[in-house]
Structure 1
Amino acid sequence: MGPGRINKHQLFYAAILTVLAISVFYDRSVNACYEYQYCLTPLNYSGRYMNDETYGYMSDKAKMLCDGFCHHNSTLRLRCCASDATVKLERISEQVCTDNHLIYKFVIHGEIAKDNEFPFMAALGWRIKNETTGNTTIVYKCGGTIYDRGYVITAAHCLYHSSDLPVVVCPGGFALNDTEAWDLEIEEVIEHPNYEYPNVYNDIAIIRLKTIFYGNPFHDQPACLYDDPSSAHNVTAIGYGNTQFAGVSSPLLMKTNLSTIDNSECQLHYEPDSDVLSDGIISTQICAKDHEKLRDTCQGDSGG
């Protein structure tokens, strides 16, 4: 059973708060637990069971990620808590902007991305049934960006490629036919509450994965989400989309260099459209182009 499209107005911001590590508490009964025994917190941080005294020395941020209680015996109450070293004060997508030195070095007329060059890239997969054989296969139709542990951001319009929602995410920027590539199941998909297909405003959605995998490269290197993207002039577009207009998709991750342009210049190339661009180009959108008019993004590159 695949993920359902849930009430986006009620849960979109709830998902954001979860990603920001707002406290999650719940009681659970454990038959036997021991002090300093390994455990997993509600947000899947690795932790240990701690007594009340040890808990008192923890930072407020770390306390927010503690589980409920379990009882080692009738008197000793233990909590599952992540260590302070595990918990970062900043959102992961902001922390990575300073942790990693990003280089914009160098999709139509693009080039193949190097292995592990974009570990935060993901591809969204739909389960498609062959009407003749009855067999099902995964078809990747859109991109996404890993920006926190277990969360992927994508374009909301990608959810309308089919009557069904995507069911898996292939993380890590691997070639889709690579033997090292693997799929992670999707738990839920949440559109921006103000998105209305097919327009391009608020065109954003959050995907929550069923399982968080530790020890894999994709969760350690999420994308950097800049607070002020206006300072970026040279950008790199990446995607698995068509390599020529109306052509076939690429199983390889492609990249190409583009330059951002002022929105007023961008507006000259786009006439207002009642369905897609009813308000024209607005401040929350970024335009980019290839000055040589050779390179561009294409169908299937959305979301990444």
Structure 2
Amino acid sequence: MSRIINGEQVNNDEAKFTVQVFIDIGEEIDSCGGILISSRAVLTATHCVYNYDTNTTYNRILILYGTRIYFESNYSANRVVNVEVCPENIRVKGRFTYNDIAVLTLKNPIQPNNDIQYAVLHPNNIIGRYDVIAYGWGLTHINGPYSERLLKVRLKTINNYECYKHFFEPFENPDSTILDLKIICAKAVNRSTTFGDSGGPLTLMNGNLIGIISCGKRKYDNDKPIYFTRIYSYLNFIRTAMQRAETFVP
């Protein structure tokens, strides 16, 4: 699970769609980021909510929202009643997952207010170099404490060939065509996401959602990029799952 390193605190009017996802995995509680996209639907990473040993989704998941403070005592909470993962989800090796996207259905609807809003899904594909922002609760510096406040880190997208050279060589026979279609790669010097912020948002500078944090650096290395699930490639899946979430009856 990725954590933002060397990030800066967000302004009060930024990323109000970012939520905290807490998953009971049995022996402990894991946490991830999430993105509110409608009154009853939250986007996150599949690897946060899926048990690959049993090929089932975890069934005890809680969403915290409307706060910039990590696990704040005065929080609003909502239980997840259904998890829908991409039907093509494939675990490849280690922590890398093709189609690392899931839609969580909330028990109760969340209405927008001064502290919460729905993310805008960017309607177009992102090709080339763009300035982007990733959000999450993470490390204030290497080997330091986790931040209690929501952080952001500014990155720049890179082409997937450069990403492949740095990140995917250790994997056997990765499908470069799938990588080109399904992921966005980005990096910046001295700033990153690492384990813990998985499932959180990647946005353009205008706030539109273009990616989901899938995997950060395994160790702190300025030369290695970060990869994100590319929202554009899953718009049909997201919209269909979102419609089902809005009418889901527990």
Q: TM-score, normalised by structure 2?
A: 0.64
Return the alpha-carbon distance in structure 1 between the equivalents of residues 119 and 195 of structure 2: 22
The reply on whether 1:168 has 2:89 as its aligned counterpart is no
Q: Which residue of 2 aligns with 1:56?
A: none
Does 1 or 2 have the higher relative contact order (CA < 8 Å, sep 6+)?
2
- Return the offset for 1:165: 4.2
- Return the offset for 1:242: 3.9
Whether contact under 8 Å (2:39, 2:111) holds in the other structure is no
- Return the offset for 1:294: 0.4
Return the alpha-carbon distance in structure 1 between the equivalents of residues 25 and 168 of structure 2: 36
Q: In the superposition, relative to structure 1, how do residues 193 and 242 fare at CA in structure 2: closer, same or farther (>3 Å)?
A: farther
Find the partner of 1:123 among 20, 33, 49: 20
The reply on whether 1:233 has 2:123 as its aligned counterpart is no
1:1-304 alignment runs, 5 A limit: 107-127=4-24, 139=29, 141-160=31-50, 164-197=58-91, 198-214=95-111, 216-217=113-114, 221-230=117-126, 233-244=130-141, 248-274=145-171, 278-280=174-176, 281-290=179-188, 293-304=189-200
- Return the offset for 1:128: 7.4
Whether contact under 8 Å (1:242, 1:299) holds in the other structure is no
Paired residues, what number? 187
- 1:77-109: CA deviations, max 9, x gaps? xxxxxxxxxxxxxxxxxxxxxxxxxxxxxx111
Return the alpha-carbon distance in structure 2 between the equivalents of residues 215 and 278 of structure 1: 41
Q: In the superposition, relative to structure 1, how do residues 215 and 266 fare at CA in structure 2: closer, same or farther (>3 Å)?
A: closer
Q: In the superposition, relative to structure 1, how do residues 240 and 162 fare at CA in structure 2: closer, same or farther (>3 Å)?
A: farther
Return the alpha-carbon distance in structure 2 between the equivalents of residues 187 and 174 of structure 1: 24
SS at match of 1:119: coil
Whether contact under 8 Å (1:143, 1:303) holds in the other structure is yes
Q: Which has the higher strand share?
A: 2
| Aligned residue identity for 1:172 | G
- Return the offset for 1:279: 1.9
Q: In the superposition, relative to structure 1, how do residues 227 and 148 fare at CA in structure 2: closer, same or farther (>3 Å)?
A: same
Return the alpha-carbon distance in structure 1 between the equivalents of residues 63 and 130 of structure 2: 30
- 1:129-181: CA deviations, max 9, x gaps? 88xxxxxxx94510011111110000001114798445211123521243442
| Aligned residue identity for 1:295 | R
Return the alpha-carbon distance in structure 2 between the equivalents of residues 286 and 118 of structure 1: 19
Whether contact under 8 Å (1:116, 1:172) holds in the other structure is no
| Aligned residue identity for 1:271 | F
Whether contact under 8 Å (1:263, 1:287) holds in the other structure is yes
| Aligned residue identity for 2:76 | W
Q: Which runs of 4+ in 1 moved over 6 A?
A: none
Structure 1 gaps, min length 5 = 1-106, 131-137
- Return the offset for 1:274: 4.1
Q: Which residue of 1 aligns with 2:227?
A: none
Whether contact under 8 Å (1:142, 1:300) holds in the other structure is yes
- Return the offset for 1:218: 5.8
Return the alpha-carbon distance in structure 2 between the equivalents of residues 263 and 129 of structure 1: 37
- 1:34-87: CA deviations, max 9, x gaps? xxxxxxxxxxxxxxxxxxxxxxxxxxxxxxxxxxxxxxxxxxxxxxxxxxxxxx
Q: CA RMSD in A?
A: 2.9
SS at match of 1:126: strand
- Return the offset for 1:287: 0.8
